Amino acid sequence: MTPRRGARSLRAARTTLAGATALVVLAAVLVSCMPLYVPPVPEAPSVAVGARLSDASELTVAGGRPRLTLTLVPGDALVSSGAWLAVQWYGPANTQAASDSVWVEGRELSVHAFELPPDVEVVQGEWRAVVSLDGVLLRQFRVDVTADPEA
């Protein structure tokens, strides 16, 4: 009877060893699927707010000539020493007709008016004014110039 008892205990030992091995493999697989480190979420970086034109800015026709009125709202990105506010005028032929610029300083709201120079002939059609600050495009305006019926 002793040999049988040894065979049974050998089988039980093998079964226990197989079960323990399966548990170790299962634990290793489960641990490998879990993240070991969750990185903290970094704080959002501060973004510099650029200068912009307010909604009060407009391109109109006054006395048969285009007139641009700009209200500049400076942002954090505007250098404190100042920058060039430039306007390029484009006529109906889609060619540059004129340009003008002013030096703007400070961080307060400022209003600037630009008129098409008197030496530029105004023709009927769509006129555009492209506005940039220190070489960065801010906005493009358009207006239709029509013939004066009283002329």
Do residues 33 and 56 both lie within one domain?
Answer: no
Tens digit of each residue's pLDDT (9 = 90 or more) over 45-57: 877 677 888 999 9
Instruction: Return d(Cα 67, Cα 72) in angstroms, integer.
Output: 16
Do residues 29 and 78 both lie within one domain?
Answer: no
pLDDT of residue 4: 59
Cβ(138)–Cβ(131) below 8 Å: yes
Do residues 76 and 120 both lie within one domain?
Answer: yes
Q: Per the structure block, which two tokens stand in for 129?
A: 């004014």
Do residues 127 and 94 both lie within one domain?
Answer: yes
Read off the pTM: 0.65
Answer yes or no: is 46 within a domain: no
